[in-house]
C-alpha cells in the first residue's frame, strides 16, 4: 500500500494553493529522500503562483523554494546519511516528503531548529552574498536597507551590522522599526511619515551601499542619496516595479548598479552559494545571527501565509510547518 502524504499544490495560475493527499515520492538513483520539517514562503512564491516569476512553472506544481528536514535515504558518496538534519534549496518544498539532488542539500547546526533553518537560505544567503560580494560592504561604511522589516531586508540589517557597517533601515510603522533597531540598525526611517527619503538619507550622511528589495520610488530616492563610488544592489521589486535609475548620476558619481538573484548562483557559481552558507551557519553557531519568523503556520493555513505576504503584514519570514 502506497504511503500518502500531505502536499500543497498550485493547480491554476492566479489561485491560492490547495492541500492534497498524494502518494509519497520515491528517490530516483542518485537522489536524496527527505522528510520535511518546515518550509518558508518567499515573495517569489507569490510571483510564481501568478506566472510572473523569472523561472516559471506550469500548474500543477508544489510551491516553496526552500525548507529543512531529515534525510530518509541518501546515495553513497553524497556525504549525507539517514537521520541527518539538513536544509534544502529546490522548488517544491511545501510537502511532507520530497526527493532532490544532493547538491541542493546542506547539513545545519545542531542548535538550529527546522523553523529557523527553513527560512534561512534565501533571505540570509541573498543578503550575505550580495553585501560581501557585489556590494563590497566594508567596516565603517553606511548601508541603507529598504523594506528593512521584510524577510530579506531584516537579514540585510543584521548581516550589515555584523560586518561592521552603520545601517540605516527604512520600514513602515513603529512596531516594524523597533524590530529593525533590534536587528542592529543604527538609524531607522519610517517610510509612512517620510515625504523626502532622499533628503532624510542625505541628512544622515548619505550611503555607500543601498540594498533594495522594494524598487519603485523608494529605490529611486535611495539611489540619489548614494555617495560617489557607491553601490546599488537591486534585490527585488516588492513595490510593484523596478526603480527608474538615472544613469547619468551613475556615470558622474562612479556608482555601480548590481542586479542580484540568489537562485541564479546555482548555475553562475554554486560553490559561492555553499561557501556563503557555511559562513552564515558559523555566524549562527557563534550567536551573531537570530532568524525572526514573522509567522509560523501549519500546512493547512498556507493560504493565510500567502495573504500575509501579499498584504505585507509579516515581519521576518513566513514559515510553514510540515
Question: For the chain, what are the domain ranges?
Answer: 4-120+291-321, 124-263
Q: What is the pLDDT of residue 313?
A: 80
Q: What is the pLDDT of residue 274?
A: 86
What value does the mean pLDDT take over residues 237-265?
94
Measured at the CA of 39, the angle between CA 36 and CA 45, to 5 degrees, comes to 135
Which is higher by pLDDT, 1 or 232? 232
Inter-residue contact 135 to 258 (CB < 8 Å): yes
Q: What is the pLDDT of residue 293?
A: 67
Q: What is the DSSP letter of 19?
A: E
Rg (CA), the chain: 20
Sheet strands (E) in the chain: 4-9, 18-23, 32-41, 66-73, 85-89, 97-100, 105-107, 142-145, 166-171, 187-190, 207-212, 226-234, 256-259, 293-298, 317-321
CATH superfamily name and code, 124-263: NAD(P)-binding Rossmann-like Domain (3.40.50.720)
Beta-ladder partners of 235: none
Q: What is the pLDDT of residue 1?
A: 57
CA distance 283 to 277: 10
Residue 211: φ, ψ to 5° = -110, 110
Torsion angle, alpha carbons of 229, 237, 40, 158, to 10: 30
Cell 493565510 sits on residue: 304
CA 78 to chain centroid, in Å, comes to 26
Asked if pLDDT for residue 226 goes beyond 70, the answer is yes
Strand, coil or helix: what is 37? strand
CA distance 145 to 163: 14
Asked if pLDDT for residue 130 goes beyond 60, the answer is yes
Q: What is the pLDDT of residue 33?
A: 97
Give, in words, the CATH class of 4-120+291-321: alpha beta
Q: What is the DSSP letter of 95?
A: B
Per-residue pLDDT tens for 13-58?
999 999 999 999 999 999 999 999 999 998 889 989 999 888 888 9
| 248: exposed, middle or buried (Cβ count in 10 Å: 0-12, 13-18, 19+) | exposed
Per-residue pLDDT tens for 86-116?
999 999 999 999 999 999 999 999 999 999 9
Amino acid at each position: 500500500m502506497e504511503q500518502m502524504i500531505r502536499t500543497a499544490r498550485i493547480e491554476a495560475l492566479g489561485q491560492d494553493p490547495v492541500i492534497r493527499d498524494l502518494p509519497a515520492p520515491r528517490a530516483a538513483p542518485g537522489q536524496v529522500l527527505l522528510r520535511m520539517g518546515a518550509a518558508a514562503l518567499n515573495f517569489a512564491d507569490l510571483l510564481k503562483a501568478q506566472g510572473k516569476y523569472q523561472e516559471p512553472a506550469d500548474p500543477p506544481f508544489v510551491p516553496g523554494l526552500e525548507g529543512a528536514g531529515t534525510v530518509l535515504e541518501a546515495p553513497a558518496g553524497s556525504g549525507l546519511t539517514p537521520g541527518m538534519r539538513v536544509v534544502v534549496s529546490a522548488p517544491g518544498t511545501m510537502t511532507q516528503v520530497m526527493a532532490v539532488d544532493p547538491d541542493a542539500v546542506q547539513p545545519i547546526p545542531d542548535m538550529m531548529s527546522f523553523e529557523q533553518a527553513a527560512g534561512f537560505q534565501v533571505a540570509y544567503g541573498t543578503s550575505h552574498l550580495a553585501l560581501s560580494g557585489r556590494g563590497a560592504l566594508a567596516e565603517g561604511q553606511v548601508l541603507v536597507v529598504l523594506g528593512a522589516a521584510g524577510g530579506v531586508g531584516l537579514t540585510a540589517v543584521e548581516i550589515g551590522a555584523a560586518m561592521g557597517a552603520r545601517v540605516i533601515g527604512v520600514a513602515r510603522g513603529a512596531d516594524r522599526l523597533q524590530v529593525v533597531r533590534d536587528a542592529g540598525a543604527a538609524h531607522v526611517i519610517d517610510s509612512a511619515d517620510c515625504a523626502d527619503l532622499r533628503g532624510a538619507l542625505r541628512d544622515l550622511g548619505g550611503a555607500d551601499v543601498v540594498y533594495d528589495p522594494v524598487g519603485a520610488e523608494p529605490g529611486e530616492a535611495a539611489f540619489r542619496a548614494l555617495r560617489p563610488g557607491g553601490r546599488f544592489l537591486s534585490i527585488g521589486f516588492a513595490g510593484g516595479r523596478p526603480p527608474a535609475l538615472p544613469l547619468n548620476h551613475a556615470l558622474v558619481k562612479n556608482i555601480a548598479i548590481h542586479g542580484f538573484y540568489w537562485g541564479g548562483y546555482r548555475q553562475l557559481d554554486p560553490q559561492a552559494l555553499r561557501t556563503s552558507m557555511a559562513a552564515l551557519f558559523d555566524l549562527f553557531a557563534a550567536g551573531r545571527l537570530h532568524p525572526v519568523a514573522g509567522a509560523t503556520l501549519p500546512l493547512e493555513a498556507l493560504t493565510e501565509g500567502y495573504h500575509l505576504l501579499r498584504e505585507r503584514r509579516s515581519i521576518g519570514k513566513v514559515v510553514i510547518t510540515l
